[in-house]
Amino acid sequence: MSQTTESPDISLSEMLEILAEEKDFDLRGYKNSTLQRRIHKRMGQLGIDSYAAYLKRFNEQAAERNQLLNTVLINVTEFFRDPMAWEAFGREALYPMLKDQDAGCPLRAWVAGCSTGEEVYSLAIMLAEYYGARVLDYPIKIYATDIDEEALAVARRGEYPADRMRGLTPELRAKYFSGDSVLRVARELRKMAIFGRSDLIHDAPISHVDMILCRNVLIYFDGATQKKIFHRLHYALEENGILLLGKAESKLSESALFESVDPRWRIFRKAVSQDPKAMKTRNSPSPDDQSGYLEELSLLRLYHRSLLDTLDPGVVVLNEDDVIVTDNDSALTLWGLAGAKLAGKPMRDTALATRCPDLASRVEESKRNKSTVQFECAAQVNGSLRNLRITVRPILGDDGNRAGSILYTEDVSHKEQLQSTVEQLESTGEELQSANEELETTNEELQSTNEELETTNEELQSTNEELETTNEELQSLNEELENMNEELEHRTRELDSLNSRYAATLEQMPWPVTLVDNNERILFWNSASQELFGLTGTSVIGLSLSQLPIDNNLRKSLVRRHATVVERMKPVSIKEQAFKGSRFGDAFDIHFMPVSRAGTPQSVLIMFGPLRMAQGAAKKISNNGKARTNSTGAKKEAKSIGSRAKVKKMITAKGNARAGRSGVRRKR
């Protein structure tokens, strides 16, 4: 087995034998062309290019059995498929049968190859429509069989999408189905049907049925299997039972089993068997009446002569001594002896024995065995060779003794040619029928493929709609992003302007100001800070408080105060901190101010104020924070901080400025 499955030379027939014998999966009755096409389709779906590789896949994957079966079986069906065929079926066969049926009489039907059940429920609808309210008075059983369990599961549920109801009128749909997008068969129809798995080839047929629907099933089988199934269907039907086939199916060779009702729509009726009629015999004339006997004998001779002359085959009658008793014109014509007198002559002495040398020996054989002998002889007749079929039949009496022989001669020259022509025509007819069935199979495959393409197209259309929706959403999101971008640009410009003002403000401040982050890294300082620490502007990058070129104690003090502000988020100051060598003074008040966002410290602002500035600010605070002072107050403040001359100059400059503005107003 393993060597077979691994062999690259395995053929389709070998694979079918293995599947049938070892896997109980028999597909040998199907047409090889159909099987090859369908199996290649499944192999293409799996990316397998050899029967051996596919057989290995079949053995390893248990689910592949159903997958292959679903591929081979083409479940193309619908409600009232081919409406004209259903109309003819009802008019020509079904309704005449139902008309003579009495109430209470059971009606049994068999739908062979029912697929997903549409034809079963179509038949049930026809019966329900015919009987109307009286349908419950008739026990109706519709036996529906198929070998596809998945299709049978769909049929048992009796639920179908709305788009599968194309063959139903809105009235029938509303009357026998319920639901919206998925329609369920009415209960009274479902009770009529009995679904079960059955193989037309191997399983016993359902017997004693009044009608069988086997539409577009036989086209998948080869000729021998079709004949076998046909005999099974004939056995299953009652006398005068109805058989409905598909429009591509016909078996004219089985006409003895069925008689045609409507050949166009393949409707047949089981042929009624008839007993041969008994032959009537004449009464013999009374032996006491000699004249009547002679008259009867003369009449019989006339009948005999007329009968012989009427027959087309040649008849020559011999007595027990092989002397020719009588013949007919056809025999003389066939043997080329027209006008000759053969009666009373021994057969061996006539031209019959000359033209057919085997005739005498065949007659002797018939006499010896008291049996019929048939043979063919090539006789030269009128210069041409003629094939004659001769039958030698002994004439036996009541006691079993031979009383003579009959030579029955036929010219089979033309018949052989005709038979050859008939055989060719039959062969051509079978080929045409097979081609028709193949076309029907291909049509169903194309219809199935078309339905798959329609489904794929709908899915693609749905995907396209989703993509269009997504595109619109992206477009809307893009517009929002553009608006946000514009707003961000506006905010950026505002922020840049604010930063510029902020930087300019810090830069214009006369006292050193430094901005430090939580990790002691200096983010920004102004020019006064650069001058204070003796560093250039670029030196601030990556510089921390602990790296400032100042006194070590002062540096440690700055680091500690910075950490305190970060931890507590409260301002801290260092009073009168010595800082020698600066043009701003020898001592500073250093102020640490936390800069936070959403309650989280972001950085610390460190401001270095000269001691005198700090004392003046303290005095201002002690005077209750008065922001405006007169000239006297300004002088006192200037005197207290040792800058009286500078304040006087400020007052004079302010007075001159006011006087100038007053003059301008007067001029205006």
pLDDT digits (tens, 9 = 90+) for 292-318: 566 566 666 666 666 776 677 888 888
Q: If you average pLDDT over residues 118-147, what whole number do you get?
A: 91
Q: If you average pLDDT over residues 57-73, what whole number do you get?
A: 82
Q: How many residues does the chain have?
A: 668
SS (H, E, C) 433-480: HHHHHHHHHHHHHHHHHHHHHHHHHHHHHHHHHHHHHHHHHHHHHHHH
3-state helix, strand and coil shares in percent for the chain, rounded to the nearest 5: 50, 20, 25
* Higher per-residue confidence, 537 vs 421: 421
Question: Number of helices and strands (H, E) in the chain?
Answer: 22, 20
Closest CA to 249 of 98, 112, 127: 112
Per-residue pLDDT at 87 exceeds 90: yes
* Higher per-residue confidence, 117 vs 501: 117
Q: If you average pLDDT over residues 490-501, what whole number do you get?
A: 85
* Cα 630 from Cα 618, distance rounded (Å): 18
pLDDT band at 241 (very low <50, low <70, confident <90, very high): very high
Torsions phi, psi for 535 (to 5 deg)? -120, 155
C-alpha dist (Å) from residue 637 to 586, 609, 615, 640, 657: 21, 17, 10, 5, 22
Q: If you average pLDDT over residues 164-190, what whole number do you get?
A: 90
Query: Which residue, chain included where needed, has tokens 């489904």?
Result: 455
**pLDDT recorded at residue 48:** 86
* 46-50, 209-213, 275-279, 369-373: which is most confident: 209-213
* Higher per-residue confidence, 260 vs 110: 110
Q: If you average pLDDT over residues 414-420, what whole number do you get?
A: 74
Question: How many other C-beta atoms are found inside a 10 Å radius of the C-beta of residue 146?
Answer: 25
Q: If you average pLDDT over residues 86-114, what whole number do you get?
A: 89
User: What share of the chain in percent tops pLDDT 90?
Assistant: 16
Domains 2-72 and 83-270 equal at CATH topology level: no
* Cα 462 from Cα 162, distance rounded (Å): 19
Q: If you average pLDDT over residues 39-46, what whole number do you get?
A: 87
Closest CA to 186 of 141, 124, 254: 124
* Cα 571 from Cα 607, distance rounded (Å): 11
Closest CA to 352 of 408, 416, 412: 408
Residue 326 in tokens = 């009588």
Which tens digit of pLDDT belongs to each residue from 642-666?
444 443 444 444 444 444 444 434 4
C-alpha dist (Å) from residue 25 to 9, 22, 28, 58: 21, 8, 9, 11
Q: If you average pLDDT over residues 42-46, what whole number do you get?
A: 87
C-alpha dist (Å) from residue 15 to 28, 124, 432, 544: 10, 41, 28, 85
**pLDDT recorded at residue 445:** 83
Do the strands 324-327 and 572-582 form a parallel or antiparallel pair, or are they unpaired?
Answer: unpaired
Q: If you average pLDDT over residues 321-341, what whole number do you get?
A: 83
Closest CA to 74 of 246, 314, 207: 246
- Going by the DSSP 8-state scheme, the letter that residue 383 receives in this structure is T
Least confident of 18-22, 98-102, 443-447, 607-611: 607-611
* Paired strand residues for 407: 316, 392
pLDDT band at 607 (very low <50, low <70, confident <90, very high): confident
Q: If you average pLDDT over residues 335-359, what whole number do you get?
A: 84
**pLDDT recorded at residue 186:** 93
Alpha helical stretches, state H, 113-221: 118-131, 149-157, 170-176, 187-190
pLDDT band at 584 (very low <50, low <70, confident <90, very high): low
Do the strands 600-610 and 513-517 form a parallel or antiparallel pair, or are they unpaired?
Answer: antiparallel
pLDDT band at 219 (very low <50, low <70, confident <90, very high): confident
What contacts 504, CB < 8 A, 6 or more positions away?
A: none
Per-residue pLDDT at 462 exceeds 60: yes
Q: Using only C-alpha atoms, what is the Rg of the chain?
A: 59
pLDDT band at 158 (very low <50, low <70, confident <90, very high): very high
SS (H, E, C) 573-624: EEEEEEEEEECCEEEEEEEEEEEEECCEEEEEEEEEEEHHHHHHHHHHHHCC
Which tens digit of pLDDT belongs to each residue from 181-203?
899 999 999 999 999 988 888 88
Per-residue pLDDT at 478 exceeds 50: yes
Q: Are 267 and 244 in contact (CB under 8 A)?
A: yes
Least confident of 347-356, 475-484, 520-529, 644-653: 644-653
374-382 contacts: CB < 8 A, separation 24 or more? Answer: 376/412, 379/335, 379/336, 379/355, 380/355, 381/334, 381/335, 381/336, 381/355, 382/336
Q: If you average pLDDT over residues 94-115, what whole number do you get?
A: 87
CATH class of segment(s) 83-270: alpha beta
Question: How many other C-beta atoms are found inside a 10 Å radius of the C-beta of residue 226?
Answer: 22
**pLDDT recorded at residue 165:** 85
**pLDDT recorded at residue 661:** 43
Q: How many CA atoms lie within 13 A of 99 on its CB side?
A: 7
Q: Are 197 and 149 in contact (CB under 8 A)?
A: yes
Mean pLDDT for all residues in the chain: 79
Residue 372 in tokens = 């019929």
Per-residue pLDDT at 639 exceeds 50: no
Q: If you average pLDDT over residues 12-40, what whole number do you get?
A: 82
pTM, rounded to two decimals: 0.49
Q: If you average pLDDT over residues 337-361, what whole number do you get?
A: 84
Per-residue pLDDT at 630 exceeds 70: no
Q: Are 354 and 379 in contact (CB under 8 A)?
A: no
Q: Are 327 and 340 in contact (CB under 8 A)?
A: no
* Paired strand residues for 30: 221
* Cα 489 from Cα 482, distance rounded (Å): 10
**pLDDT recorded at residue 228:** 87
Domain 509-627 has CATH 3.40.640.10: no
What contacts 424, CB < 8 A, 6 or more positions away?
A: none
Closest CA to 392 of 413, 361, 415: 361
**pLDDT recorded at residue 618:** 41
We find that the CATH architecture of domain 2-72 is: Orthogonal Bundle (1.10)
Closest CA to 322 of 408, 406, 409: 406
Per-residue pLDDT at 212 exceeds 90: yes
Per-residue pLDDT at 379 exceeds 50: yes
- Going by the DSSP 8-state scheme, the letter that residue 91 receives in this structure is I
Least confident of 103-112, 237-246, 298-307, 425-434: 298-307
Domain range summary for the chain, segments of one domain joined by +? 2-72, 83-270, 295-411, 437-504, 509-627, 635-668
Superfamily grouping for domain 295-411: PAS domain (3.30.450.20)
Least confident of 103-107, 154-158, 403-407, 489-493: 103-107
Torsions phi, psi for 319 (to 5 deg)? -85, -170
Report the amino acid identity of residue 469.
Answer: T
